[in-house]
Each structure stands twice: as C-alpha cells, then as structure tokens.
Homo-oligomer: A and B are copies of this chain.
C-alpha cells in the first residue's frame, strides 16, 4: 500500500535530529530548545526521540561531537592546503568563517555550553576541542616563526588568542545582526589587520 512509512533506522534519525538541533539553534538560543521542539520540527512524536537518544544530555553531547568532527576536519584540510604557514593561517581563518556562515547555529550552541558551570562534561568537550584548535594554530605560528616570517619576540600564545578572538568578534557581530551575510568580507578585512600584526615588517 502507498502508506508513506516514515520509519527510519536509528543512524539516519540521529543525524536528522542533530541537524534539527543546529538548525533551531540558528534562531532560537539552544538553552530554550525543548525535546518537544526538536521532535515536532522533524515530524516525530516527543517520545520517539528517546528511542534514538537516551537523554537530552546525550543528544547535546552528540551535537558537540558532530561540530568537533566536522569543524576540525575542515580546519585541518584548510591548513594542509597551503605550503606557506601564513597562507595556511589565512586559509584556516576563512574556513572557520565559511563554516559559521554555512552553519549559523553552531556558534550559538558552542557559546551556550561555555556558560555551563564548572565541570559539565559538555563544557569539557568544548574546552578539549578549543585546545586542539590552539595546537593547530601554534604549530602554524611556530613554523612561520622558523621561516623568519614573524616579528621577533612575538608572543605566539597571545597571537593564537588574538586569532581565535578576532573570529569570535566577527561571529558576535553576525549574531547581533542575526544574519551572516557580509561576514566573509568582514573576515577578510579583519584578517588583513591580524596578518600585519604578526608579520615581520617589510621595507615598503
């Protein structure tokens, strides 16, 4: 019979659910998203959700895992796509921007977890991811320094902080405006300044 069976294997549903959470996060603020919201936004009963995730916390963790996997893969690819480390830094910066433009719910979700109290496992996961991000940056910065491309006595730790921070500034502006249009252009301009902050001065 032509009865449209919407029965799906768990793996498919899990991916669908994670995508729904991030989609909602783009406009709703993850703290206020209910399990009922998620279920109805993919045309499922509330109860059915718990066939695929035992608790809401487990679902939230799965979302972070998704972000971790996909974002870090994209950043690593960008870093590997350029021979010169300064070019690689630029590629990472723009890849990150691109990821946020494509998935506007992600930064809202991450910021939300950062607000969590002390040692929430969610927060630990985010902290871990950011640690690996910093390692990636530090490696590129060290490589650039070894080529003599950076200012002498540049604080590489502070340089990494500034890199991530400037991305956050761009994201915050986008969140205020509630759209990510024009973010790429702004990112180009900001990175240009960052670049001149770390590069060794050249005779003009």
Residues of A within 8 A of B (CB): 27-32, 108, 111-112, 114-118, 123, 126-127, 130, 151, 154-155, 157-159, 161-162, 164-170, 172-173, 175-176, 178, 186, 189-190, 192-194, 196-198, 201, 204
Contact = CB atoms under 8 A, between A and B. Distances in A.
Nearest to A30: B115
A156 B98 CA distance: 23
| Chain copies in complex | 2
A114 B176 contact: yes
A198 B194 CA distance: 9
22 contacts: A28-B117, A29-B116, A30-B115, A31-B31, A108-B115, A111-B111, A112-B115, A114-B175, A127-B176, A130-B176, A155-B192, A158-B186, A161-B169, A161-B170, A161-B190, A162-B193, A164-B169, A165-B165, A165-B166, A165-B190, A166-B169, A201-B201
A192 B158 contact: yes
Given A108-B115, A162-B166, A165-B172, 10 more contacts: A27-B117, A31-B115, A114-B175, A159-B193, A161-B169, A162-B194, A165-B168, A165-B169, A196-B197, A201-B204
Given A31-B115, A111-B111, A111-B115, A193 B201 contact: no
A197 to B, nearest CB: 3
A105 to B, nearest CB: 10
A117 B28 CA distance: 5
A28 B114 CA distance: 11
A204 B130 CA distance: 36
Nearest to A116: B29
B114 A190 contact: no
A168 B190 CA distance: 15
A157 B127 contact: no
A29 to B, nearest CB: 4
Nearest to A130: B176
Contact of A157 (B126, B189, B204): B189
